[in-house]
Amino acid sequence: MTAITPHSTRSVVLTIAEVIEETADARSLVFDVPAEHTDRFGYKPGQFLTLRIPSDRTGSVARCYSLASSPTTDAKPKVTVKRTADGYGSNWLCDNASPGDEVEVLPPSGVFTPADLDAPLLLLAAGSGITPIVSILKAALATGSGPVVLFYANRSQDDVIFAEEIRTLHAAHPERLTVIHWLETVQGLPGVAALTALLRPYAAHHAYMCGPGPFMDAVHTALADAGFGHKQVHAEVFTSLSGDPFDDPDVAVVSAEETADAASVSVALDGTVHELSWPRSQTLVDIMMAAGLDVPYSCREGECGSCACTVVDGTVEMANVGALDQEDIDDGYILGCQARPTSDHLTIEF
pLDDT tens digits, 49-95: 999 999 877 778 899 999 999 999 999 999 999 999 888 999 999 99
**More confident of the two residues 245 and 67:** 67
pLDDT at residue 325, rounded to an integer: 83
Which is nearest to 30 in space by CA: 127, 85, 105?
105
Q: What digits encode the pLDDT tens for the residues 96-116? A: 999 999 999 999 999 899 999
> Would residue 175 count as lying in a domain?
yes
> Would residue 251 count as lying in a domain?
no
Domain shared by 170 and 231, yes or no: yes
Q: Please give the mean pLDDT across all residues of the chain.
A: 93
| Per-residue pLDDT band at 8 (split at 50, 70, 90) | confident
Domain shared by 156 and 179, yes or no: yes
**Per-residue pLDDT at 259 exceeds 80:** yes
Domain shared by 162 and 215, yes or no: yes
> Would residue 297 count as lying in a domain?
yes
Mean pLDDT in residue range 26-34: 97
> Would residue 29 count as lying in a domain?
yes
Domain shared by 264 and 224, yes or no: no
pLDDT at residue 250, rounded to an integer: 66
pLDDT at residue 327, rounded to an integer: 83
Domain shared by 313 and 340, yes or no: yes
What percent of the chain lies above the pLDDT cut of 70?
96
> Would residue 50 count as lying in a domain?
yes
**More confident of the two residues 300 and 22:** 22
**Per-residue pLDDT at 277 exceeds 80:** yes
Mean pLDDT in residue range 227-241: 86
**Per-residue pLDDT at 6 exceeds 90:** no
| Per-residue pLDDT band at 130 (split at 50, 70, 90) | very high
> Would residue 98 count as lying in a domain?
yes
Mean pLDDT in residue range 137-161: 98
Helix (H, G, I), strand (E, B) or coil at 164: helix
pLDDT at residue 251, rounded to an integer: 64
Burial of 145-158, coded b for 16+ CB within 10 Å and e otherwise, reads eebbbbbbbbeeee
Parent domain of 22: 12-107
* The model's pTM: 0.88
CB 295 within 8 A of CB 289: yes
pLDDT at residue 239, rounded to an integer: 66
CB 128 within 8 A of CB 27: no
CB 51 within 8 A of CB 91: no
**Per-residue pLDDT at 260 exceeds 70:** yes
Mean pLDDT in residue range 150-164: 98
Contacts with 22 (C-beta within 8 Å, 6 or more apart), sequence order: 28, 80, 161, 162
**Per-residue pLDDT at 1 exceeds 60:** no
**More confident of the two residues 32 and 248:** 32
Domain count of the chain? 3
| Domain termination residue (choose one: 201, 236, 271) | 236
> Would residue 246 count as lying in a domain?
no
| Domain termination residue (choose one: 72, 107, 142) | 107
Q: What digits encode the pLDDT tens for the residues 205-223? A: 999 999 999 999 999 999 9
Q: What digits encode the pLDDT tens for the residues 183-206? A: 999 999 999 999 999 999 999 999
